[in-house]
Amino acid sequence: MTELTSLKGIGEKTAGALMRLGISCAEDLIFDLPRDYECFEEPKEIFRLTPGRTEAVECVLSRDGVINRFNGMTIVNVYISDMTGRLQLSWYNMPYIKQTLKAGSHFVFRGRVYEKNGRLIMSQPKIYRPEDYKKGYLGRLMPVYRLKEGVSSKQRLNASKEALSSDFFRELSAEFLPQDIREGLGLFREEQALLSVHFPRDRQQLSDAMKRICFDELLFFFLLQKRRKLLFSAQGSDYRCRPDIRFLKLSAGLPFELTTAQSEAVKTITRDMSSGSIMNRLLEGDVGSGKTIVAFLAMAFAAFNGCETALLVPTEVLAKQHYQSFTELFPEEDTGLRCLLLCGSIQKKEKERAYELIREHKTDVIIGTHALFQEKVDYDRLGLIVTDEQHRFGVAQREAMKQKGGLPHMLFMSATPIPRTLSMILYGDMDVSILSSRPEGRIPIKNTVVGPQYRRNAYKFIYDEIKKGHRAYIVCPAIDKEGEEGLPEQEGDSLQDVETLTAKLRGIFPDSVRIGCLHGRMKPSEKDEAMEAFKNGETELLVATTVIEVGVDVPEATVMMIENADRFGLSQLHQLRGRVGRGSAQSYCIMINTSESEEAAERLRILRDSNDGFFIASEDLRLRGPGDLFGLRQSGEMGFVTADIYRDSKLLGPAREAAEKLLTKDPELTAPEHKRLSERLSGYMKRCYYV
């Protein structure tokens, strides 16, 4: 471990900001890969500029820049034109820039372009001398990192440079893959991969570097998976269950009849847990197929057999929802099942009490977030762990869970159906049950994809639905004007955010419509209140970020409007849409496409035309060829840090084979030639646990 402050240019303050990003040592800096790259392209003619993109133009100014004052702000403007069009360049609160903008001077300007009232504007462009631009920038890719208040993009960039040229880097990047595997697949050496992923010479080099880095991550995934499989099959279960009369009574008294697929799944799961071996099962089913009740029954079955059972979910909102459903469905007075909620946000005293109840086995069903696996939690007989929305968790979290209770039965539930071919590789170590149908009486969701000019109509439509007693969601990609991930968005960008939109809608809708908002930066208690109010109908319209993506179940909601839908992945959109269509009324999904690209339109058409998660997943795979390695944004499936099961689908097979080969020779990876591999694997687990 090398202290962050030992690097040139990093003081206590910057180190503190980096810590908040989960970067606690210099080594972490190297594995915190750019989240995107900026490409310095050839300057363009004005009519070729695309609003929404960062572009470059070259020109000789025909007039001086002028200063305008507006609402206490200064704006320096200069207008340029070529044969093909006219462009306004604007700088906010930078009056001194006027000095530079003299008629007759020749520059390259590079900045974000947008369109306002039919005019094309470039805001806050950087200014280069043409020869500097051509020599120093053209064709280069500059990394863009995650940032937090207290660390600027320049500081972050320099920190990477420093880290990559430090002494510890050589040791850190020592090759750990056997030569035959590396060369057989034509992979970069580790050192070259790490250097070029931060500072690629060109797209080809970046793509080669990414290939190596994603391969490593997939290899780690399969190494952990195979090791677990070996462990599981070698041992019988300490938690063998038996049929129980209380369980039969419970199943018979449900408020609805289980679908055939649900009953089958319950039967298989109880059989697994009674077999004497350890259950390791995946329950796969599209959004709304009714996985929760299957999990609840599995937990009840294990609890009646004297086990503690835990349900792990990715968000507190979902944990609370499940806790509420469980206690309503199976009240302790009737069933004897003691249910407990455990999340990061509950009061310290309450938490201590929860730890005690768990330790003394005075509780049966524990529902919570990763707080379930804090060191202080000490289970008595943890016999079954269920994870909901499994695709949100990484393999390292699974490992952490396993270590908590000897070897409990494991049930994983995933709402993101991934293409069959991939799922067979990724879940190769598990048995699979599929909920192929939805509960009866559901009407398919009606979908529409429209441009921003349709917003007003959509609001009107939502108002009509609310008047019928229904509820609606509007999802935005950003929380506030700061934009995504705290990066300032520039004026004119059409990115919708929860705070601004909520305020705006309160002006648009009549006062009788009660509007709530929900996002990840609210205090946990505020989130609860917002969710609770929407659930019980106190608010009828909920403006939210994707925090509601997983699991939220409000059957009265009939409209899902998704802002900037082009910004989301297909599976994510499908999940969001799954928040409606959960009751018996007709539901609608309105996707606002704010992109002009044909590609975005094609992707959204797939969603418009299908409500079938499996089909959507396979289309997602088809559309993202291995070609688009350039966009680092990944789908977030399976908790990977860098790899993406769709984009890197061709690497899955080879990574799995490599893992097999390594473990066949050396099951514990203790041979001297695997020392470096073993170290990297544990380093990876630590890191991805915190991502």
- Binding residues for Mg ion (CB under 5 A): 551
Q: How far is the CB of 617 from ligand ADP (least distance, A)?
A: 15
Residue 336 binding ligand ADP, by CB under 6 A: no
Alpha-carbon gap, residue 625 to 616, rounded angstroms: 15
Q: How far is the CB of 668 from Mg ion (least distance, A)?
A: 37
Residue 293 binding ligand ADP, by CB under 6 A: yes
Q: Which is nearer to ligand ADP, 394 or 551 (CB)?
A: 551
Q: Which stretch binds ligand ADP (CB under 6 A): 238-246, 282-290, 506-514, 602-610?
A: 282-290
Residue 258 binding ligand ADP, by CB under 6 A: yes
Report the partner that residue 285 touches, choosing among Mg ion, ligand ADP, none (CB closer than 5 to 8 A by kind).
ligand ADP
Q: Which one of residues 22, 439, 524, 654 is an interface residue with ligand ADP (CB under 6 A)?
A: 439
* b/e burial code for range 553-573 (CB count within 10 A of at least 16 → b): bbebbbbbbbbbbbbbbbbbb
**In the stretch 117-156, what mask flags binding to ligand ADP with x, by CB under 6 A?**
----------------------------------------
Q: Which stretch binds ligand ADP (CB under 6 A): 87-95, 133-141, 283-291, 377-385?
A: 283-291
Q: 260 near 289, Cβ under 8 Å? A: no
Strand order in the sheet with 73-82: 54-60, 106-116, 119-128, 85-92, 73-82, 66-70
Q: Which is nearer to ligand ADP, 493 or 549 (CB)?
A: 549
Q: Which one of residues 155, 160, 205, 289 is an interface residue with ligand ADP (CB under 6 A)?
A: 289
Q: Which one of residues 130, 178, 452, 555 is an interface residue with ligand ADP (CB under 6 A)?
A: 555
Q: How far is the CB of 283 from ligand ADP (least distance, A)?
A: 9
Burial of 522 (0-12, 13-18, 19+ CB in 10 A): middle
Residue 553 binding ligand ADP, by CB under 6 A: yes
Q: Which is nearer to ligand ADP, 264 or 489 (CB)?
A: 264
Q: Which is nearer to ligand ADP, 166 or 315 (CB)?
A: 315
* Alpha-carbon radius of gyration of the chain: 27
Q: Which one of residues 287, 474, 475, 543 is an interface residue with ligand ADP (CB under 6 A)?
A: 287
Q: Which one of residues 65, 290, 581, 639 is an interface residue with ligand ADP (CB under 6 A)?
A: 290
Alpha-carbon gap, residue 130 to 54, rounded angstroms: 17
382-387 and 308-312 beta bridge pairing:
parallel
Residue 545 binding ligand ADP, by CB under 6 A: no
Q: How far is the CB of 643 from Mg ion (least distance, A)?
A: 25
Q: Which of residues 209-228 bind ligand ADP (CB under 6 A)?
A: none
Residue 256 binding ligand ADP, by CB under 6 A: yes
Tokens of 309: 């059972």
Helix (H), strand (E), coil (C) string for 269-319: HHHHHHCCCCCEEEEEECCCCCHHHHHHHHHHHHHHCCCEEEEECCCHHHH
Q: Which is nearer to ligand ADP, 569 or 578 (CB)?
A: 578
Report the partner that residue 502 touches, choosing among Mg ion, ligand ADP, none (CB closer than 5 to 8 A by kind).
none
Q: Which one of residues 14, 160, 262, 414 is an interface residue with ligand ADP (CB under 6 A)?
A: 262
Q: Which is nearer to ligand ADP, 90 or 259 (CB)?
A: 259
Residue 534 identity (one-letter amino acid): F
Q: Which is nearer to ligand ADP, 313 or 354 (CB)?
A: 313
SS3 146: coil
**In the stretch 575-604, what mask flags binding to ligand ADP with x, by CB under 6 A?**
---x---x----------------------
- Within 303-398, strands assigned E span 308-312, 339-342, 365-368, 382-387
Report the partner that residue 289 touches, choosing among ligand ADP, Mg ion, none (CB closer than 5 to 8 A by kind).
ligand ADP
DSSP letter, residue 374: S
Q: Which stretch binds ligand ADP (CB under 6 A): 41-49, 54-62, 188-196, 287-295?
A: 287-295
Q: 343 near 337, Cβ under 8 Å? A: no
Q: Which is nearer to ligand ADP, 47 or 256 (CB)?
A: 256
Report the partner that residue 52 touches, choosing among ligand ADP, Mg ion, none (CB closer than 5 to 8 A by kind).
none
Residue 292 binding ligand ADP, by CB under 6 A: yes
Residue of 513, 505, 498 lying closest to 548 (CA atoms): 498
**In the stretch 386-405, what mask flags binding to ligand ADP with x, by CB under 6 A?**
--------------------
Alpha-carbon gap, residue 335 to 380, rounded angstroms: 21
Q: 156 near 657, Cβ under 8 Å? A: no
Residue of 125, 71, 84 lying closest to 101 (CA atoms): 125
Alpha-carbon gap, residue 418 to 640, rounded angstroms: 15
Q: How far is the CB of 595 from Mg ion (least distance, A)?
A: 30
Residue of 625, 623, 629, 620 lying closest to 215 (CA atoms): 629
Residue 115 phi/psi, 5-degree rounding, is -120, 135
Residue of 369, 395, 263, 237 lying closest to 310 (CA atoms): 369
Residue 558 binding ligand ADP, by CB under 6 A: no
Output the residue with the shortest Cβ distance to Mg ion: 551
Alpha-carbon gap, residue 302 to 162, rounded angstroms: 53
DSSP letter, residue 548: G
SS3 674: helix
Q: Which one of residues 415, 548, 565, 645 is an interface residue with ligand ADP (CB under 6 A)?
A: 415
Q: Which is nearer to ligand ADP, 306 or 439 (CB)?
A: 439
Q: Which is nearer to ligand ADP, 406 or 555 (CB)?
A: 555
Q: Which one of residues 285, 368, 383, 405 is an interface residue with ligand ADP (CB under 6 A)?
A: 285
Element (H, E) at 141: strand 141-144
Alpha-carbon gap, residue 187 to 194, rounded angstroms: 12
Query: Which residues make up the interface to ligand ADP (CB under 6 A)?
Result: 256-259, 262, 285, 287-293, 415, 439, 551, 553, 555, 578, 582
